[in-house]
Every structure is written in structure tokens, then in C-alpha cells.
């Protein structure tokens, strides 16, 4: 008799390896608390998801339905109509929003990303880094209207008038913390071993930052920039104090003029949506749709840009 045989149990019952298992226990049944709980919770999750999706979809649907009707080439090329005038558009507001967002991005990206490098590389006990990080965190929750008041005091009063520049500064204040904090996170996510590799090759700290840290963190940095742009583009309150509004193109004598009151989509929506005229209200809807699409396009562009990197 082999050793194997000896180990085998002799009765057929014992040979069944599942003899101990109660098959009934494995069955799914609503009478069981664990199954019931699981079904109930799954149901709850579904209901909550639908509840959350409801408003979201109705807003988007409303936007496309009401804004889409008015959308035409004229909307992009013409100036806002006066009170009872038919037609018209908000080409100047689109231009104004684009200009202010571009300037704000040009201000915030270098400042934000380079300070992020500083924060990510600073020693944990560095007082300056702690202060900057704290300020940035406070600023993320900064009421946007205060950014407007600040830019009003700092730029409008100083330069003697409402302007696109003042608007850009106000928006920059709102964009900066988002860019700074997401970029810091993205830079911190770069694996230490990559940094070691660069240092080991004889890269200076500056070269490491430019050639390894920033390129590797680029997708994360771009996400932050996109988020910041999405926030900045939609803000109305800070622009009311800074760029105000204008019924004309942001130019004088055919030249771009950044030092005069400038129209923006957000303020146009704010102004027109409350007017008792059908045409204006419809234009406000169309402007809202354009604003959403603009943000969407920047987002897609950002994604395309970051995925163009080799993978």
C-alpha cells in the first residue's frame, strides 16, 4: 500500500472535500441580511446617481435647447443689440473673455508653475514654503468678489479706469491657487528615482527641473491649468469691478486696446438674462452655451496636448 492510499479517508462521505460546506448558505436569497443589504445599497446608489444626474442633464439640455436656437454666425460677429433692436450678437464679449483669459493664463502659469517647483523642492520645514502653501489654500476658497475688489483697488483706481488688464488681474488671483497647488502635487508625483537618475547623470537642479520634473508632471500641470481656466472664464463678480462691460469691440481705431472697459461673456449673461426683452434673454442663453463650449474646447485641447506626449 502506498503512502498516498494511507492518507486517503476510507468513507465516501469524508472524501467529499465540500462535506463541511452548507450549500444552502452559498445561495443568494433576499431573506438573508447580507444579500438584502447589498441589494438595498445597490438600489440606493442607483437612485442617488440618477438624482445627481437629473439636474446636471437638465441644465445641459436647457442650455443646448435654448442657447442652440439662437446660435448663428451673426452671434459671433455682431455687437450686442440695444433695447428693442432685433438680431445682434456678442462677438465683442467672446473676444473680451478670450483676451482676459489668455492674459490671466500668461500671468498665472509662469508664476504658478515656478512657485510650484519651489514648493515641491523646498524642505518640509521651510517657513516661506509653508506660508506660500497656506496662502494658496486660503485663496482657493477666496470669494471671487473680493478678487474683484482687490483688482479694483490695485489696478482700476491706479490706472484711472476699468480695463481688460484689471479684469485679467482679478481673474488671475482666482486662477493662481488652483494652478499652484495642482502643479505642486503633479511635481511631487514625479518618482524620486527619475530625479535620482537625472542627478546621477550630472544634471544641475535647474536642468532636473526643466528636463525631468516639468515634462513628467506636464499632464497634471495642464489639468490644473484647465481647471483654473474653467473657473476663471465663468466668473462674473470680479469682472463687474474691473473690466465692467462695453457694447463695442475692445479696440480703438482698429487697434487692440486693453485699457478700456471690455465686454465679457459672463457679464453679458448677467446683464442680458435679467432684461425684459426676449431677444436679449435669448442672446444670454446663446452666450452661456458659447461659454460652456469654450471651456469644453480648452479642456479637450489640453487633454490632446498632454496625450501628445509619448506614452
Partner 1 sequence: MSLAGESNGAGVGAAPAREKTSPESEVVIDCHIRELYYGTFKAVRDTTIPIVKKSITAFIGPSGCGKSTVLRCLNRMNDLVRGFRFEGHVKYGGQDIYLPSVDPVAVRRYIGMVFQQPNPFATSIFNNVAFGLRLNGYKGDVGERVEQALKQAGLWEEVKDKLHKSGLSLSGGQQQRLCIARAIATQPGVLLMDEPCSALDPVATRKIEELMLELKKRYTIAIVTHNLHQAQRVADRTGFLYVDTTQGGRTGYLVEFGESAQIFGDPQEKHTKEYIRGEFS
C-alpha distances in Å from residue 87, one per residue of 194, 210, 211, 234, 278:
58, 51, 52, 24, 11
Q: Is 252 in the site for partner 1 (CB under 8 A)?
A: no
Q: How far is the CB of 195 from partner 1 (least distance, A)?
A: 9
Residues in contact with partner 1, counted by CB under 8 A, come to a total of: 21
Name the one range near partner 1 by CB under 8 A: 103-111, 143-151, 153-161, 193-201: 193-201
The minimum distance between CB 205 and partner 1, in angstroms, equals 9
By the 8 A CB rule, do 188 and 178 touch? no
As to burial, measured by CB atoms within 10 angstroms (0-12 exposed, 13-18 middle, 19+ buried), residue 113 is: buried
Whats the size of the chain, residue-wise? 311
227 binds partner 1 (CB under 8 A): no
The upper half-sphere exposure of residue 211, i.e. CA atoms within 13 Å in the direction of its Cβ, equals: 14
- Least CB distance to partner 1 at residue 222 (A): 14
Q: Tell me whether residue 207 or residue 247 sits nearer to partner 1 (CB atom).
A: 207
Between 148 and 220, CB nearer to partner 1: 220
State which of residues 204, 296, 300, 301 lies at the interface with partner 1 (CB under 8 A): 204
Within 8 A by CB and 6+ apart from 19, the residues are 13
Distance of closest approach, residue 227 Cβ to partner 1, in angstroms: 22
Choose the stretch contacting partner 1; rule: CB under 8 A; options: 93-101, 205-213, 238-246, 286-294.
205-213
Tell me the β-bridge partners of 248: none
Residue 308 contacts partner 1 per CB under 8 A: no
| CA–CA gap between residue 180 and residue 29 (Å, rounded) | 52
Q: Which of the ranges 55-63, 203-211, 275-283, 296-304 carries the binding residues for partner 1, by CB under 8 A?
A: 203-211
- Using the contact rule CB under 8 A, the part of the chain among 5-13, 36-44, 209-217, 298-306 near partner 1 is 209-217
- Measured from the Cβ of residue 80, the count of other Cβ atoms closer than 10 Å reads 23
Residue 122 contacts partner 1 per CB under 8 A: no
Phi, psi of 256 (to 5 degrees): -60, 130
CB-nearer residue toward partner 1: 1 or 192: 192
One residue of 14, 27, 85, 196 binding partner 1 per CB under 8 A:
196
Identify which of residues 155 and 212 has a Cβ nearer to partner 1 in the complex: 212
8 A C-beta contact, residue 171 and residue 100: yes
- Out of 107, 149, 211, 227, which residue is the one contacting partner 1 (CB under 8 A)? 211
Among 82, 215, 248, 307, binds partner 1 (CB under 8 A): 215
Binding of residue 143 to partner 1 (CB under 8 A): no
SS3 of residue 255 by DSSP: strand
Return d(Cα 275, Cα 140) in angstroms, integer.
33
Asked if 189 touches partner 1 (CB under 8 A), the answer is no
CA distance 42 to 36: 10
Q: Does 125 bind partner 1 (CB under 8 A)?
A: no
Q: Do residues 181 and 140 touch, judged by C-beta distance below 8 A?
A: yes
Question: CB-based burial of residue 180 (10 Å sphere; 0-12 exposed, 13-18 middle, 19+ buried)?
Answer: buried
> How does DSSP classify residue 251?
E
Interface with partner 1 (CB under 8 A)? 123, 191, 193-194, 196-204, 207, 211-212, 215-216, 309-311
Amino acid at each position: 500500500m502506498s503512502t498516498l492510499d494511507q492518507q486517503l479517508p476510507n468513507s465516501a462521505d469524508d472524501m467529499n472535500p465540500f462535506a463541511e460546506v452548507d450549500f444552502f448558505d452559498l445561495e443568494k436569497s433576499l431573506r438573508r441580511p447580507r444579500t438584502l443589504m447589498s441589494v438595498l445599497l445597490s438600489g440606493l446608489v442607483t437612485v442617488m446617481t440618477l438624482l445627481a444626474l437629473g439636474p446636471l442633464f437638465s441644465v445641459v439640455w436647457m442650455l443646448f435647447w435654448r442657447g442652440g436656437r439662437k446660435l448663428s454666425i451673426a452671434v459671433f460677429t455682431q455687437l450686442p443689440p440695444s433695447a428693442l433692436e432685433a438680431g445682434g450678437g456678442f462677438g465683442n464679449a467672446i473676444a473680451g473673455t478670450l483676451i482676459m483669459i489668455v492674459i490671466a493664463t500668461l500671468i498665472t502659469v509662469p508664476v504658478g508653475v515656478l512657485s510650484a517647483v519651489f514648493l515641491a523642492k523646498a524642505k518640509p520645514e521651510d517657513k516661506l514654503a509653508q506660508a506660500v502653501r497656506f496662502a494658496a489654500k486660503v485663496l482657493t476658497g477666496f470669494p471671487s468678489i473680493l478678487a474683484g475688489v482687490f483688482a479694483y483697488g490695485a489696478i482700476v483706481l491706479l490706472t484711472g479706469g476699468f480695463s481688460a488688464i484689471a479684469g485679467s488681474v482679478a481673474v488671475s488671483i482666482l486662477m493662481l491657487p488652483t494652478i499652484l497647488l495642482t502643479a505642486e502635487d503633479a511635481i511631487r508625483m514625479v518618482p524620486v528615482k527619475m530625479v535620482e537618475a537625472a542627478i546621477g547623470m550630472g544634471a544641475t537642479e535647474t536642468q532636473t527641473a526643466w528636463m525631468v520634473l516639468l515634462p513628467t508632471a506636464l499632464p497634471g500641470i495642464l489639468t490644473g491649468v484647465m481647471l483654473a481656466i474653467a473657473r476663471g472664464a465663468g466668473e462674473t463678480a470680479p469682472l463687474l469691478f474691473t473690466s465692467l462691460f462695453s457694447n463695442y469691440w475692445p479696440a480703438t481705431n482698429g487697434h487692440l486696446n486693453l485699457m478700456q472697459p471690455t465686454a465679457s461673456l459672463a457679464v453679458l449673461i448677467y446683464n442680458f438674462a435679467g432684461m425684459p426683452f426676449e431677444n436679449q434673454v435669448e442672446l444670454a442663453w446663446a452666450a452661456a452655451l458659447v461659454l460652456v463650449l469654450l471651456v469644453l474646447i480648452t479642456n479637450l485641447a489640453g487633454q490632446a496636448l498632454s496625450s501628445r506626449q509619448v506614452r
